[in-house]
Amino acid sequence: MPMPADATVPFRFVLVRTAHPGNIGSTARAMRTMGFTRLELVAPARFPDPQATAMAAGADAVLALAGVHADMVAGLAGCSMAIGLSARRRGVALPEWSPREGAQQALAAAARGEQVALVFGNERTGLENSELAHCHGMVRIPSVDDFSSLNLAQAVQVMAYEMRLAMLATVPPAPPAPVGEPLADAVKMEQFFTHLEQTLDDIDFHKGRPPAVVVLRLRKLFQRSQMDERELRILHGILADAQRMARLAGVTGKRADAG
Amino acid sequence: MPMPADATVPFRFVLVRTAHPGNIGSTARAMRTMGFTRLELVAPARFPDPQATAMAAGADAVLALAGVHADMVAGLAGCSMAIGLSARRRGVALPEWSPREGAQQALAAAARGEQVALVFGNERTGLENSELAHCHGMVRIPSVDDFSSLNLAQAVQVMAYEMRLAMLATVPPAPPAPVGEPLADAVKMEQFFTHLEQTLDDIDFHKGRPPAVVVLRLRKLFQRSQMDERELRILHGILADAQRMARLAGVTGKRADAG
């Protein structure tokens, strides 16, 4: 599958001291769904690895191009902005952003011609303070306090998703989908309600009760359904068959109170 | 770890025909990080399973409480709103929302006192059209066209994240206005559709034509109407009277092609 070269070029995802190679593969997939292709690995426990390939689920090209580095500075070479992800609030002198704010910061930096890294730490211990020291800001995904740690690849997915949303926000939306059957207009709806009311009479639905309340409820129901003309035709057909049954039964026109 | 009872109570995540139990575990974790605890499984390939527990990474309580159901209607029991996730644009007549819009819809429904399901399909094939038919809206996570399919648990993570953002943004609401009639849940809707289909047969509506297309259109029409229980009772009454007419006419069970 060809790798698109595009607006994602300034961005790289950096995984630091990843313990489980499967998470590297899942990360590659998560990145690729949002159009990102540059992955850098700093001191991974095991890579390459069949588990990484298996979990990449087709995003093999991302793995094939992934750089492997001994230390974080090497992984950040060329980047003038690095955003570190952390599950916990940290006592570090870094601005703390939501994922949405972090994506905005990242895009602003890219617009200035910078390369930007999104940095994720070890699954269990996260990023060390010494690693965060290379970052310019920190993103905390707003998980609950009593279960705050997302799986590494799921954190990558959320950040990549917010990045993509931020990038799409600059693109004009697609033209609206073509309309199918025309919606029923007021005239056709009124014809339907007339038919419905006649049918309710023919099948002796009201049984002597005042019809207005039920009829009003039915009007509201079908009105809000915003039916198209094909649906109307089907309903007219059902009503017509119910009326036919009443005629065959010799019931049409009789009322419960007529004895 | 104690499970918080709180604003997440109206929401459930429903996984349909999940092939890999590890994804069920990862889903439980993804849910739990965002404070969600109710998981329903419809026809999972294997559950319980050690892989699910392993991937849950501490969210065992979610797995322990997960319901297992044979069919989707049972998994949606009590829900009057279901949102289906799909990787692809689908040719179904459901409103299509972004995850953010879907979360807004879900919260609005919960504010009206409804129970809401977020529904995810099989890893490879997604949700069948017959399963989407039980949904009121569809969310597509905005992945790239040439690599559109997120890992199941990562899709859950993104949706749970957007749900949490929406909940964090909401000022605690005033006590909800009295709701009136409850909306029909999936079980009652299925009973209605069964009655409708029986009635169409009894009044010889199909006249030898294949019934599936019309039945599907009617399902879509009434599904999107989001009927309340009073409206359902009215419609059941109309169907019953139409059936009565057919019995009186001696028509029930005859078909146009039976001569």
* Cα-trace Rg, chain B: 20
CA dihedral A29, A32, A34, A40 (to 10 degrees): 90
Q: What is the pTM of this model?
A: 0.80
> Position of tokens 């588990």?
A51
pLDDT at A89: 75
Question: A225 pLDDT band (50/70/90 cuts)?
Answer: confident
A142 shares contact with chain B (CB less than 8 Å): yes
Cα separation, A165 vs B189, in Å, equals 36
Cα separation, B179 vs A222, in Å, equals 20
Contact B30, B156 (CB under 8 A): yes
Of B30, B147, B224, the CB nearest to A225: B224
pLDDT at A228: 86
Q: Give me the mean pLDDT over the A28-37 stretch.
A: 97
Residue numbers in A near B3 (CB within 8 A): none
Select from B73, B165, B88, B164 the least CA-distant residue to B119: B73
pLDDT at B128: 93
Does the pLDDT of residue A2 top 60, yes or no?
Answer: no
Contact B150 A168 (CB under 8 A): no
Q: How many CB pairs under 8 A join A and B?
A: 162
Contact A245 B250 (CB under 8 A): no
Residue numbers in A near B157 (CB within 8 A): 150-151, 154, 157-158
Q: For A147-192, what is each residue's pLDDT tens digit?
A: 999 999 999 999 999 999 999 997 654 544 556 777 787 778 889 9
Cα separation, A34 vs A174, in Å, equals 18
Instruction: Report the percent of chain A where pLDDT is more than 70.
Output: 91
Instruction: Indicate which of B55, B98, B245, B252 best probes the interface with A, i.e. most A CBs within 10 Å of its own CB.
Output: B245
pLDDT at B180: 73
Contact A88, A148 (CB under 8 A): yes
Select from B153, B129, B155, B152 the least CA-distant residue to B142: B155
Contact A1 B218 (CB under 8 A): no
Tens-digit pLDDT string for chain B (259 aa): 333 447 899 999 999 999 999 999 999 999 999 999 999 999 999 999 999 999 999 999 999 999 999 999 999 999 999 999 998 877 777 899 999 999 999 999 999 999 999 999 999 999 998 899 899 999 999 999 999 999 999 999 999 999 999 999 976 655 555 567 888 999 999 999 999 999 999 999 999 899 999 998 999 899 888 899 999 999 999 999 999 999 999 987 544 444 4
Which SS3 state, helix, strand or coil, does residue B149 take? coil
Contact A234 B217 (CB under 8 A): yes
Residue B227 gets the label, from left (phi > 0), alpha (psi -120 to 50) or beta, of: beta
DSSP labels, A72-141: HHHHTTT-SEEEEE-SS---SSS-EE-HHHHHHHHHHHHHTT--EEEEE-BTTTB--HHHHTT-SEEE--
Of A154, A157, A231, the CB nearest to B217: A231
| Element (DSSP H or E) covering residue A168 | helix A152-168
Of B93, B165, B248, the CB nearest to A251: B248
Contact A154 B30 (CB under 8 A): yes
Q: List the Cα angle A64/A65/A66 in 5-degree steps.
A: 95
Q: In the predicted model, what is the mean pLDDT of chain A? A: 88
Residue of B nearest to A2 (CA): B146
**Greater model confidence, A69 or B89:** A69
B224 shares contact with chain A (CB less than 8 Å): yes
Q: Name the B residues in 31-60 with CB < 8 Å from any A CB.
A: 32-35, 57-59
B157 shares contact with chain A (CB less than 8 Å): yes
Q: Give me the mean pLDDT over the A87-95 stretch.
A: 79
B3 shares contact with chain A (CB less than 8 Å): no
Of B154, B222, B245, the CB nearest to A153: B154
Q: How close B71 gets to chain A, by Cα (Å)? A: 27
ipTM reported for the complex, 2 dp:
0.78
Does the pLDDT of residue A248 top 80, yes or no?
Answer: yes
pLDDT at B80: 94
B248 shares contact with chain A (CB less than 8 Å): yes
Query: How many Cβ atoms are within 10 Å of A213's Cβ, its own excluded?
Result: 10
